[in-house]
Amino acid sequence: MKISEIFQDRARVFSAEVFPPKRDGNLEALFQTIEDLKALGLSYISVTYGAGGSTREMTLDIATRLIATGITPLVHLTCTGHSQDELRSLLSRLKDAGIENVLALRGDPPKGESKFVPSAPDGFRHASELVNFIRKEGFPFCVGVAGYPVKHPEAASPVSDMDHLKAKIDAGAQFVVTQLFFDNSDYFRLVEGLHRRGVNVPVQPGIWLLTDFKQVDKIASLGVGLPGDLRAKLEKMKEDPEAIRESGVEFAAHQCADLMRNGAPGVHFYVMNKSASALRVHANLHAMGLGH
């Protein structure tokens, strides 16, 4: 099923992101997590792949298995590491495998590079070019793109960042999944800015589930940052992993509830291939009357 149709059919769309296992390629452990996540009533699962397509084959294997188990996959596709011919071939394979949805991304700069440079002479520099390519080549995919409630680290300003997002939608993207954020006002500012630009596609907020203190510095490196009161609270309990997980669940549940009560079309969980916190957040939402 196309995700654009899912947003039309359902008042609240719950979804999650998983990634191919990096160490031993153990797909069975991943699919046990996916089996556990079914309790969330997921509308779709997005599947990433490594820089330069390093886990591309495993990503395709995961996506086809998801289809076989009745779950709609959203396959990540990046500009990084691909010529136009390679992209055309990959898109054809995805289509032949029965995949209907792709998330078009620029991707991170190649390893060792501080700025993004296409790895092929005809490679793309922007996700908007990739979206345009998919449309011009006539592929029938439903295409999603990433949005940044807290501006992309490389963007000159929040305004230019929003203009780039509009360019991706103008090129043919049909929905947006956001990068993580912790201040809901950032999300609502993004949605309102798009509305002022005449953009009305679904913007699904991406929710990060805090599970350990090490994530605090990782999140800061993404340019997102935590609200001061939340960081101070976590600082006090950094030697107590269970307390941090509990606080992460509590914060995410209230964050999601506020988002959906104020118009967000559901939430997208960054679960890091784990199910426990997402299941607890969803249970809390269900208790608030905001589940399925």
Q: In this predicted model, what pLDDT tens digit does every residue of 189-206 receive, in sequence order?
A: 999 999 999 999 999 999
Question: What phi-psi label fits residue 76: left (phi over 0), alpha (psi between -120 and 50 degrees) or beta?
Answer: beta
Q: Is the pLDDT of residue 174 over 70?
A: yes
Q: Is the pLDDT of residue 218 over 90?
A: no
For residues 161-167, average pLDDT: 96
How many percent of the chain have pLDDT more than 70? Answer: 95
Q: Active-site positions?
A: 17
Question: If DSSP codes are grouped into helix, strand and coil, which group holds residue 132?
Answer: helix
pLDDT value of residue 280: 96
Q: Domain coordinates of the chain in residue numbers?
A: 3-209+267-273
Mean pLDDT, all residues of the chain: 92
Question: If DSSP codes are grouped into helix, strand and coil, which group holds residue 106?
Answer: coil
Q: What is the C-alpha to C-alpha distance for residues 258 and 238, in angstroms, rounded to an integer? A: 26
Q: Is the pLDDT of residue 54 over 60?
A: no
- CA-nearest of 31, 30, 12, 32 to 21 is 30
Q: Which two tokens stand for residue 32?
A: 């046990």
Confidence of residue 222 (pLDDT cuts 50, 70, 90): confident
More confident site: 225 or 88: 88
pLDDT value of residue 24: 61
Q: In this predicted model, what pLDDT tens digit does every residue of 252-283 receive, in sequence order?
A: 999 999 999 999 999 999 999 999 999 999 99
CATH 3.40.630.30 describes domain 3-209+267-273: no
* H/E run at residue 4: helix 3-9
pLDDT value of residue 287: 93
Place of tokens 């559901």: 266
Helix then strand then coil, in percent of the chain rounded to 5, is 45, 15, 40
* H/E run at residue 266: strand 266-270
